Amino acid sequence: MSAGTDHKGTNPFPMNNLRYVDAIPGIEAFYPLFMTTGWNERLGLTRDALATALAGSFYGVCAYDGDTLVAAGRLLSDGAYQCFLCDLIVHPDHQGRGIGKELVRRLLGHAKSHGIRWMQLTSARGKRGFYEKLGFTARSEEAPGMDIWL
Ligand SMILES: CC(C)(COP(=O)(O)OP(=O)(O)OC[C@H]1O[C@@H](n2cnc3c(N)ncnc32)[C@H](O)[C@@H]1OP(=O)(O)O)[C@@H](O)C(=O)NCCC(=O)NCCS
């Protein structure tokens, strides 16, 4: 678990003024949030590349504590029947207080209201239980999700 809290713990960081915004985050705020995950050690994305990735989103959601971006998530989609949930990130100081759950609830609601029938994702290590609580199921051995790194 990252610093801040475990997923069942009491978060020691006060939450002053939390608000949710249905929008793709700006790169200046998102880049430091993205860097909290350690994912860029493998990806090696520049700020410009990550801005391009954000611009290619179908939909995005953010949570702000005052003016500080503390969480975000986004969807990629064909706009017709399927979408992919990615870059769901809650800052370690703000994990364990329902923010991730609310972001996924909003992403599911948006997808459903646009006729999307199928949301896929790749669970990060140790996060399977989080997604299962939100209704996601792991695919069967006979029909697994598959990927390849290029
Ligand atoms: C995964 C992540 C988004 C969860 O966000 P969060 O705001 O800390 O989670 P929430 O507080 O909304 O938790 C919602 C529920 O899931 C549970 N939960 C949270 N993390 C969990 C985990 N790793 N395993 C099992 N359950 C978990 C919570 O206990 C809570 O349960 P409840 O509804 O019964 O009280 C957050 O930990 C994170 O950003 N991690 C780093 C980046 C990452 O790995 N993102 C996922 C990429 S696939």
Q: What is the pLDDT of residues 103-148, one digit of tens each?
A: 999 999 999 999 999 999 999 999 999 999 999 999 999 999 999 9
Superfamily of domain 18-133: Gcn5-related N-acetyltransferase (GNAT) (3.40.630.30)
C-alpha–C-alpha distance, residues 61 and 113, integer Å: 15
Q: What are phi and psi of 68, to 5 degrees?
A: -95, 125
Q: Give the strand order in the sheet containing 59-65.
A: 18-21, 59-65, 68-77, 82-90, 118-120
Q: For residue range 8-46, list pLDDT tens digits in order.
A: 555 666 666 999 999 999 999 999 999 999 999 999 999
CB 80 within 8 A of CB 115: yes
Query: If you count them, how many residues does the chain have?
Result: 150
The b-or-e profile of 61-91 (16+ CB within 10 A means b, else e) is: bbbbbeeebbbbbbbbbeeeeebebebbbbb
- Name which residue sits closest to atom 27 of ligand 1, judged by CA: 130
Bridge partners of 115? none
Please tell me the distance between residue 113's alpha carbon and the centre of ligand 1 in angstroms.
Answer: 24
Q: Report the atom number in ligand 1 closest to the C-alpha of 99.
A: 7
pTM for this structure?
0.93
Which residue's CA is the closest to the ligand 1 atom numbered 21? 130
**How many CB atoms neighbour CB 129 within 10 A?**
10
Q: What is the percentage of the chain residues whose pLDDT exceeds 70? A: 89
